[in-house]
Amino acid sequence: MGGMIKYEWKKIWKSRLTQISVIGCCLFLVFCVYSSIIQITATDQNGQTVSGMQAVEVLKDTQQRQELTQDRVNEIVNQYLEYANNPDTNSNNEAYHYLSEEKYRTFYQSNRELLSLISNVYKEPGSSMDIKDVFEENVGKDFIQARLERDQKYIQLREERGQLTPVEADYWEREVEKIPEYQYGYHKGWDMILDALTWPVLIMMIICIGIAPIFSGEYQSKCDSLILCMKYGKSKLIFAKIITVWLFTTCVYWGITLIYSAVYLGLLGTDGADLPIQLKYPAVSVGYHLTMGEAVIYALVLAYFFTLGIVGITLLMSALLKNTYGVIIIAFLLIIIPTFLSPDTGGYTWSRILSLFPSKIADFSFQSYTAYSIGNVVIRWPDMAMIVNGAGAVIFSAISYWIFRKHQVNK
């Protein structure tokens, strides 16, 4: 069996198309990592805007680690209001959030994310109130209770719109109660990895190119009759092909994702792994109680299961079709078309079905409250996606094994 797997492994990697696809993908992602880092911008405490690695150093200085206790929140709110109400440091310019240009550059911009996080906790969902009005209206208000009320109102709003069932809404209301007191700090390395969740779609494509000929290539080369006449042609050899596909998928996916993740963490730092995922989305409600590090692992595992899902479909197409390029085209269509379809354009059922397609990893974020309910059991979107795509990969692999094994040759 080991020799068969090794042989199939070499066949995949000897393909010029596979080699070009993997190398091209890696080069493109190198460019993406580079361009995403040089586009990072930050404003230092002197009001100077910098970019690239200079911005990273500024963020590390300005985003000091702190617990957002009630006293600390009150201190930040009162500091802003003091500037906004002092004739020497305020203005009537709404674009500067009623601060003078100097205070806007030196105070607001360097603390923008922190101020946004606090103001959006106090702000009503969908409200367009300015930060000054929000702080004046809520000065001294319990921050933890305000966060819980904001999250619950958001969940109730989604229930009223038919986006959540009552059971799902109850589930999320219990989940947001578990979110601990916020901690704040620098977390750019983890943040950038989560921003790269569209990249697994490209990895899916190159994997499909590599595995498409696994069965269809045998049809095209007329080797299927030879394989099925061999001693282990209808058992071990087919099984070896499927194992090789899974190994190829695992190595390519994790090889590429771990490399670019390591580059991000190596350049931007690992700080903030234990900070809450809510910092990633300061302007919206987030129902997951995960740290940044846990969220990254969770998201990468989710993307892996999505990749397995499209791999299972590609295996099935390879066993059914006798043209490798036909397999690749169908796989690409199944990846590309769902990316243009929005879950919000249809009803509840449409959004739940569409969210399970492999390429929908590009739309995933932890601000989503999408869930699936079976009776009183509620399963979150990523968990259901892993179950469906993982099971689908196994089932489609088994079906492709059976189809190729029962394939009639020389008709």
Between strands 183-184 and 371-374, the pairing is: unpaired
What is the pTM for the complete model shown?
0.92
135 closest CA partner among 85, 96, 179? 85
Is 326 inside any structural domain? yes
Non-local (6+) Cβ contacts of 290 within 8 A are 276, 277, 298, 366
Q: Which of 135, 161, 184 is the last residue of a domain?
A: 184
The residue type found at 183 is Q
Apex 390 CA angle, 386 and 392, nearest 5: 120
Cross-strand partners of 379: 372
140, two tokens: 């001294």
Mean pLDDT of 214-236: 62
Is 220 inside any structural domain? yes
pLDDT of residue 229 exceeding 60: no
d(CA 124, CA 164): 20
Between the alpha carbon of residue 258 and those of residues 30, 203, 250, the distances in Å are 13, 12, 11
Same domain, 265 and 334: yes
pLDDT of residue 260 exceeding 90: yes
Kindly indicate the confidence band of residue 67, based on its pLDDT and cuts at 50, 70 and 90: very high
Q: 366, 290 in Cβ contact below 8 A?
A: yes
Is 192 inside any structural domain? yes
Same domain, 286 and 306: yes
Same domain, 172 and 203: no
Same domain, 72 and 6: no
Same domain, 258 and 362: yes
Same domain, 131 and 207: no
Which range (159-163, 232-236, 397-401) has the least confidence? 232-236
Is 303 inside any structural domain? yes
Same domain, 176 and 221: no
Q: Quick one: DSSP state of residue 124?
A: P
Q: 233, 224 in Cβ contact below 8 A?
A: no
d(CA 126, CA 284): 10
pLDDT in tens, 32-44: 999 999 999 998 8
Q: Which of 160, 184, 208 is the last residue of a domain?
A: 184
Q: Residue 347: what pLDDT?
A: 80
Q: Which of 184, 218, 233 is the last residue of a domain?
A: 184
Same domain, 139 and 237: no
Same domain, 25 and 166: no
* Tokens 């234990």 belong to residue: 274
Q: How many domains does the chain contain in total?
A: 2
Same domain, 176 and 238: no
The residue segments making up the domain with residue 71 are: 66-184
Q: Residue 402: what pLDDT?
A: 85
pLDDT in tens, 154-210: 999 999 988 899 999 999 999 999 999 999 999 999 999 999 999 999 999 999 999
pLDDT of residue 134 exceeding 70: yes
Backbone region of residue 375 per phi and psi (left: phi > 0; alpha: psi in -120 to 50; beta: other values): left
- Tell me if residue 231 falls in helix, strand or coil: coil
The residue type found at 198 is T
Mean of pLDDT over the chain: 89
Burial class of residue 69 in the structure, from the number of CB atoms within 10 Å of its CB (0-12 exposed, 13-18 middle, 19+ buried) = middle
Is 157 inside any structural domain? yes
pLDDT of residue 77 exceeding 70: yes
Is 216 inside any structural domain? yes
pLDDT in tens, 2-33: 777 887 788 888 889 999 999 999 999 999 99
Radius of gyration of the chain (CA): 26
Q: Does residue 145 or residue 126 have the better pLDDT?
A: 145
Between the alpha carbon of residue 45 and those of residues 42, 101, 189, 338, the distances in Å are 10, 13, 22, 44
Mean pLDDT of 215-236: 61
Is 55 inside any structural domain? no
- Tell me if residue 42 falls in helix, strand or coil: strand
Same domain, 310 and 286: yes
Non-local (6+) Cβ contacts of 299 within 8 A are 193, 194, 197, 364, 366, 382
pLDDT in tens, 292-320: 999 999 999 999 999 999 999 999 999 88
Is 400 inside any structural domain? yes
311 closest CA partner among 208, 203, 399, 217? 208
316 closest CA partner among 397, 223, 219? 397
Same domain, 214 and 168: no
